[in-house]
Amino acid sequence: MASLRVKKPTTRKGKKALEEREPKTIENLKKTLIMEGRKCSNEIRQALKDLNLFKKPNSRMMRRNNDVTPFEDATPLEHLAKTNDCHLFLFGSTSKKRPNNLIMGRIYEEQVLDMIEFGIDHYTALEKFKTEKISQFTKPVIVFNGYKWKLTEELRRIKNLLLDMFRIDQIESIRLQGIEHVLSFTLTDDLTILVRSYRIQLKKSGQRTPRIELTEMGPSLDLSIRRTKIASDSLYKTAMRQPAILRVTKRKNVTRDELGNVHGRVHVGKQDINALQTRKMKGLRKTAEEKRTERANKKSRLSASADASMDEGADGDSSGEANDGMDADSGEE
């Protein structure tokens, strides 16, 4: 029986590679494995190259054909994804039964979570569009057109897969001049997905908001849905679960930053700065002149209060004698 001993890395590079693959609270960007099957037509090969341009630098394209059939046996595909640390894959092949075949899928826990098989009915390569292209590593604006995306659970999963496949990163704020690319996915009545890529041009409009024009720059694909393998509801829910530290909880005056640290805001009443107890140190001690002035002021306040009390006592005695005299006069009468 073969031993199940796990060999630990002995080099710094090996340890760093394993640390990159460990589970994280905030995960790294998903990489995409792009590979060709046993047989691949020029159209499929060119389509994979064009899609690789959109996914760079978060993609790994295999340079040779692979004897893999994902729907029959996904074990070789899962092994290649684990070796290259990829959680998304694009697989292209062609056969007499299924020409121009394109498979998209996701990996979870080193196993295929879900994958969709598309047939490319029509394809126009990126190089055939003689228009100006966008800069590299540009985040696209993803648009889904059509009311049928929400009709069935299968179409909702396909929409989620396409969004996960072509979304580069999740951002909170955008810059208007940085929006250059639009990816449009249109679902027609016969369930054909029209994939179009546009370049955004900002034109003068005479107002603060510019006028937007879209210029198709390719590639252009018409995809028909063939076979699907969708994860169960329980597995899909487990894969979509977020760590408790990243869950947004509504607490008053409490916020979290991107690293999960908690920041709280405390409101206090108005404070008297003069009454605060500060740290006693030599630099804050009173000088001899300040002490003499304070003692003199204290003596003057005490003497003033004593004189005031004596004056009140004298006024009281005089008023008492006057009252006695009046009483005596009334008795003689």
**Domains parsed from the chain with CATH numbers:** 29-230 (3.40.50.10480)
Mean pLDDT of 231-244: 86
CA neighbor of 226 nearest in space, from 104, 56, 87: 104
Q: Is the pTM of this model over 0.85?
A: no
Q: Are 82 and 33 in contact (CB under 8 A)?
A: no
**pLDDT tens column, 127-157:** 999 888 888 778 889 999 999 999 999 999 9
Alpha carbon distance 131, 125 (integer Å): 12
For residue 106 the two structure tokens come to 């996701």
Would you put residue 218 in left (φ > 0), alpha (ψ -120 to 50) or beta?
A: left
Confidence at 272, pLDDT banded by 50, 70, 90? confident
Confidence at 321, pLDDT banded by 50, 70, 90? low
% the chain with pLDDT above 70: 88
* 80 membership: H or E segment, kind and range: helix 75-83
Alpha carbon distance 57, 52 (integer Å): 9
Quick one: pLDDT at residue 1? 40
Between 176 and 80, whose confidence is greater?
A: 80
Q: Which residues lie closer than 8 Å to 84 by C-beta, 6 or more apart?
A: 31, 33, 60
Residue 44 pLDDT exceeds 50: yes
Between the alpha carbon of residue 33 and those of residues 63, 70, 200, 306, the distances in Å are 11, 13, 28, 95
Q: How many CB atoms lie within 10 A of CB 192?
A: 15
CA neighbor of 237 nearest in space, from 80, 93, 114, 87: 114
Q: How many CB atoms lie within 10 A of CB 188?
A: 12
Q: Which residues of 276-294 are buried (b: 16+ CB within 10 A; e: fewer)?
A: eeeeeeeeeeeeeeeeeee
